[in-house]
Amino acid sequence: MSITVNLKKIINLPGKYDRKIELSFRGFTHKTKILQCENIAIFNEHFRWPHYGKIIRDEVLSISVYNCSKMFSNRLLGKLVISLQHVVTAGRLVLREPLTDTHYSLTDVYVELDVRYHPVQGAAGGWESADFLTVEDEDDSALVIRNTGFDDPSSKQPARTQKLDREARVLGRSLIRTGEEDEDEDNDDDYDDDYDMADMESANITFTPLLSRCRPLSKHELAAAPKVQTFQVNVNVMEAQKLVGVNINPAVYVTIGDEKKHTATQKSTNCPFYNEASQVS
């Protein structure tokens, strides 16, 4: 499973120290920047764990808050372990939870964060109204962007839609004209009888008839058209950075058409350097 976490802030922190937070999921840890503050630490940092491996039941996200020191080891203020069982079905969790100390007792320190679940590409995910509707409550003239797929089918007007379809077909016939001089004048009279310009303006859309551009190519134009030519593609793979995983052996595969090239395999590294060139004809 793949998740993203928006770490907003920590409140009710004791004293004035340098604060740091570590977020761990499936053995991979992200660390925040060190922030010097008193009782409130505002981070607003985003972290992402890409998809690798199948969804496992009882997935957890672990959050640890530390007081940092340059002279001594960092002191753990509290820890929060979040079960991700519901985020898979809900798609998003907005949390404000207290930390627990080393004795598993609740503290007065609270963490605020936003957890989102991203399904594998092609899998079905939950729809969120925030992705389809944006409303500014502070202004009456706010912009509202709606997804028409969520409109009530009963509110549609099939008669108006059919009328617009007929007008579009008439306009399409007027565009497909041969361009021959002896047929232009005759066709102009026929098309003028098919539709009225006053009827072509509806729903703030004006349909303007255009002169035909869909005439067939002449022999001279066909001879001047570019021919299919062979070519080569050169791909230079330089490096990769911050690959997810532990003790991995990465390689890069390049596929162009039916041909596939790949680099050498780098052993046990998350930042492999290749500088290899591949040529595909």
Q: What is the pLDDT averaged over residues 257-275?
A: 86
Out of 39-48, 93-102, 208-217, 259-268, pick the least confident. 208-217
Look at strands 205-206 and 233-239 and give their pairing: unpaired
Examine the pLDDT at 46 and tell me if it is beyond 60.
yes
Q: What is the pLDDT of residue 140?
A: 44
In the chain, where are the structural domains located?
2-118, 158-215, 233-280
Question: For residues 251 and 236, what is the distance between their CA atoms, to the nearest angstrom?
Answer: 14
Q: How many CB atoms lie within 10 A of CB 77?
A: 20
Q: Shortest CA distance to 51 belongs to which of 116, 126, 121?
A: 121
Mean pLDDT of 139-150: 45
| The pLDDT of residue 240 is above 50 | yes
Does residue 112 register a pLDDT over 90?
Answer: yes
Select 2-118's CATH number: 3.90.1150.10, 3.40.50.2300, 2.60.40.150, 3.60.40.10.
2.60.40.150
pLDDT at 114: 93
Nearest alpha carbon to residue 82 among 66, 64, 67, 55: 64
* 1-10, 124-133, 207-216, 251-260: least confidently modelled range: 124-133
Confidence at residue 176, expressed as pLDDT on a 0 to 100 scale: 61
- pLDDT given at position 96: 92
Q: What Rg do the C-alpha atoms of the chain give, in angstroms?
A: 31
